[in-house]
With several copies, the nearest count.
Chain A
Amino acid sequence: MIYLDYAATTPLDPRVYEVMRRFLEPGGIHGNPASDHAAGRAARGAVDEARAHVAALLGATPAEIVFTSGSTEANNLALKGALEFLDPAGRGAGRHVVTSRTEHKSVLETCRHLETRGVRVSYLVPGVDGRVTAQQVRAALTPETALVSLMWVNNEIGTVNDVEALAPALRERGILFHVDAVQAAGKIAIDLARVPIDLLSLSAHKFYGPKGVGALFVRKKPRARLAPQMHGSGHEQGMRSGTLPTHQLAGLGEASRLALAERVEEDRRLRALRERLERALTALPDTFVNGAGAPRAPGILNVSFGDVEGESLRAGLPDLAVSSGSACSSATRESSYVLRALGRDDALAGASLRFSLGRFTTEAEVDAAGAQVGAQVLRLRALWPAGRAA
């Protein structure tokens, strides 16, 4: 199997595995980081180290990192936590939130929930290049706007929203800015010491760390304030209770350390591989690269294939692990919003594949994938030579 679905989840880096083992294998460090004895202190040391690595990846300070069970939780905590803090009795009635239609469901569904609590939400429509611009966001602001939530990198087509240009404008107006950086963290340069983003979500399993752990950056200066969404013993400065999973955090920490150390070199390598695959696929007639008109994160390539039916295309590539749209919503088979925004009709959007390349992708894999896709597209088109329109 050729795995080109790194945007859905990545394999663990073997170096991350080595670090995690220290906390899992027989005789390993197994204490509860909250415990006040030698076993607990050893675990606590590992947690502190992990926190420092995550902070370094983002240009943040360790005290600004709140560990979560992943980005779904981080996004929930950011949005509900911020709105609830502003209005402890309810959930922020009368407030306004700006986001986009192409956010991940963990942002969109949380916004829907906020709407049931009386929050007004504006869902911006991306432009024909698949991006939401700073200008669009600024035009949507009202005096009631409390928070803007925008993803840094789109998970379906890899386009990069210019959150760095937007952040200062929101800071000036005292509006909280949350960024879903799940597809950006470890892949593009992030420096929160420089960019005034207030809240930022990431998830370890998108950059060679373990599944089920992530973090929310919560700025200290000026302090972004959140009401906790998980109540309990008061871990994570009271913002997120629950026993800290040492091995998971150590994995996230090591993944962060590696991503930071190797990002520039890996960026170059992945862009070259993606270009190679893009060349192979666009050699076929009637193929369209989605998001090509905008800056893209290095690993993602989303292509629509004319005159083939989507399900047969995917089924015809049993040896290729790729995604149609985002893995999280593959099950629902909804037509991708962002592809429709790019002007693809339903059939074409349905016949799109998201190839996402990563740390272990080789030239040989990319070439084999290109060949398999080419052969299958041609075979399916031959089954109906008249073309879809006929």
Chain B
Amino acid sequence: MNPFGYPPRVWQLFIDAPRAGELAGGLTAEAATRANGSRLRLQVKMTRSRIDDARFQAYGCPTTIAVGAWIAGWVVGKELQELSGMSMKIIRETLEIPDDRTHCALLGEDLLKSLLSLTRSN
């Protein structure tokens, strides 16, 4: 059921896409890759600096979708200050993303950065 040889976690997240959707009234961060038009959007609900709930939206390849789903899950329960600990490198390792898909992991890092800068400017 994964005939294309995607890394198992990428495949599962792409197929299930947990936390896909919108969060009315949440904070909305976005990131995009110029080259191929991939986009990620993250909406979070916070209590003070703590993230209570999150949803993502994605346009792009399966790895992009998986990164969006994974981040939406990962941020829940985190303090804002913990977000900066997450990096492209860790995303790649966690989801076993191959070299030629580094840009998808980078998109995830960008998404978190965008969320952080939003919370700072707020």
Once A312-B14, A383-B20 are accepted as A-B contacts, the answer to whether A388 and B59 lie under 8 Å apart by CB is yes
Q: Using CB atoms, name the residue of chain B closest to A40.
A: B3
Contact B3 A38 (CB under 8 A): yes
Q: How large is the interface on B (under 10, 10 to 19, 20 to 34, 35 or more residues)?
A: 20 to 34
Which residues on B sit within 8 Å (CB–CB) of A38? 3
Which of B60-68, B85-93, B105-113 forms part of the interface with chain A? B60-68
A383 touches B4 (CB 8 A): no
Do B57 and A385 touch (CB < 8 A)? yes
Most interface-central of A36, A314, A383 (chain B CB within 10 A): A383
Is B2 within 8 A of A383, CB to CB? no
Q: A382 contacts B14, CB within 8 Å?
A: no
**Alpha-carbon distance between A386 and B40 when the two chains are bound, in angstroms:** 12
Of all chain A residues, the one with the shortest Cβ separation from B21 is A382
CB distance from B109 to the nearest CB of A (A): 20
Residues of chain B within 8 A of A384, CB atoms compared: 39, 41, 57-59
B residues 50-109 touching A (CB-CB < 8 Å)? 57-62, 64-65
Does B29 sit at the interface, judged by CB under 8 A? no
Cβ-defined partner of A309 (8 Å) among B1, B2, B3, B60: B60
Question: B42 within 8 Å of A by Cβ?
Answer: no
Which residues in B have their C-beta under 8 angstroms from that of A36? 4
Q: Say yes or no for B25: interface residue by CB 8 A criterion.
A: no
CB distance from B3 to the nearest CB of A (A): 4
- Which A residues lie within 8 Å of B65 (CB)? 312, 383
Alpha-carbon gap, A312 to B67, bound state (A) = 13
User: Which residue of chain B has the shortest Cβ distance to A347 in the bound complex?
Assistant: B37
B3 touches A312 (CB 8 A): no
The smallest beta-carbon distance between A32 and chain B, in angstroms, is 14
Q: State in angstroms the CA–CA spacing of A128 and B76 once bound together.
A: 51
Q: Given the complex, which residues of A lie within 8 Å of B4, measured CB to CB?
A: 36-37, 314-315, 318
A45 to chain B, nearest CB (A): 11
Q: Which of B6, B20, B39, B57 contacts A315 (CB 8 A)?
A: B6
25 A-B pairs whose Cβ atoms sit less than 8 Å apart in the complex = A37-B4, A41-B5, A309-B37, A311-B61, A311-B62, A315-B6, A315-B14, A315-B61, A315-B62, A316-B14, A316-B62, A318-B1, A318-B4, A347-B37, A379-B17, A382-B20, A383-B57, A383-B59, A383-B65, A384-B39, A384-B41, A384-B57, A385-B57, A386-B57, A388-B37
The 7 closest A-B pairs by CB, nearest first: A38-B3, A384-B59, A311-B61, A315-B62, A383-B58, A318-B3, A312-B62
Chain A residues in the interface with B (C-beta under 8 A): 36-38, 41, 309, 311-312, 314-316, 318-319, 347, 379, 382-386, 388
